[in-house]
Structure 1
């Protein structure tokens, strides 16, 4: 049964990408799968339930990433930016999907969730009472990291990570020290 559910998610993702969520019916998904509509509804009660199942790993992963850093006594900005890049790189296909279906995803609360993550990340990177400039720098840095994984999909991951994280550090005013210059990989602030 897990295989069937996974196949439904894959086909739904394909159809949603091809024609959009609002223009894709449950009937079309069932037809492409070669199953009956009741069989599809056995696994997912609605199109919204199906959509939420597609983006749930992205939502859970983002929450886990943040929670893991919030428990640390000291946050290394370079490490956090690198982990943030890696998370978005792993989920880059879903990120493109999310960007194309923003209005639908507003209804699922994903936009509010992402905005709350940004607020938490601002606190992690600047402290509890950031200035407007500090907050703007974090938003530029994080948005830039996300955009890089979408914009430069054909660039090898390691090369893109270095370029994107270096640019994010520059936006934050952090001098990124290359590992060969500083064995700890820690940023110089």
Structure 2
């Protein structure tokens, strides 16, 4: 039992260290050697837990991307279109704020986009497309779809730029800005 617990603690430490390094140096500029050195472990020990830097990135992004997908699907189940839009924005903003450090990588570090991350990127693109469709509503013309894309970006993209903002104030400002773009109360 202790062995599994030690493994879980080590994996968590690796993920936290990688998140810090990726955030400070970019994904591409951070190496497995640097992660291992920062942890004070041998590089082969690091490979015991993760087969590659790409696998570490996937683990970091997995939970927030799944949470975004769940938020989008929950909103899709709302019978009232305006309530679906409100719920989608609130829930997606909540995910972005909860996972602010990791989502900053997704939104601000172009080096994460490589052949190793194409499946992950595909999932994100599909989630954003689904969110935009919900915000636009059924049968939307290109202008409404454009407004929906702008609203989703306004609700999610700025999160990583304001790590010092009070959480509730940031949440409210993002929501109100996106709602204004959609012309919703």
TM-score, normalising length: structure 1: 0.83
Deviation for aligned residue 1:6: 0.2
Query: 1:29-48, aligned counterparts within 5 Å?
Result: 29-48=35-54
Question: 2:80 is matched with which residue: 70, 74, 79?
Answer: 74
Q: Where does residue 13 of structure 1 map in the other structure?
A: 19
What is the CA–CA distance in structure 1 between the aligned matches of 2:46 and 2:61, rounded to whole Å? 18
Residue 2 (str. 1) matches residue 8 (str. 2):
yes
Structure 1 residue 79: Cα displacement: 2.5
- Does 2:94 match 1:86? yes
2:167 is aligned to 157
The 1:172–1:99 alpha-carbon spacing in structure 2 relative to 1, beyond 3 Å, is same
Structure 2 spans left out of the alignment, 5+ residues: 1-6
**TM-score computed with the length of structure 2 as normaliser:** 0.84
Shift of 1:162: 2.2
Aligned residues: 175
Structure 1: stretches of 5+ with no match in the other structure: 177-189
Q: Distance in 1 between matches of 2:9 and 2:20?
A: 17
- 2:3 equivalent in structure 1: none
CA contact (8 A) 2:100 2:159 kept: yes
Query: How far is 1:106 from its partner?
Result: 4.5
Moved over 4 A (4+): none
CA RMSD of aligned residues (A): 1.8
How far off is 1:128 after superposition? Answer: 3.3
CA separation of 1:15 and 1:122: change in aligned 2, threshold 3 A: closer
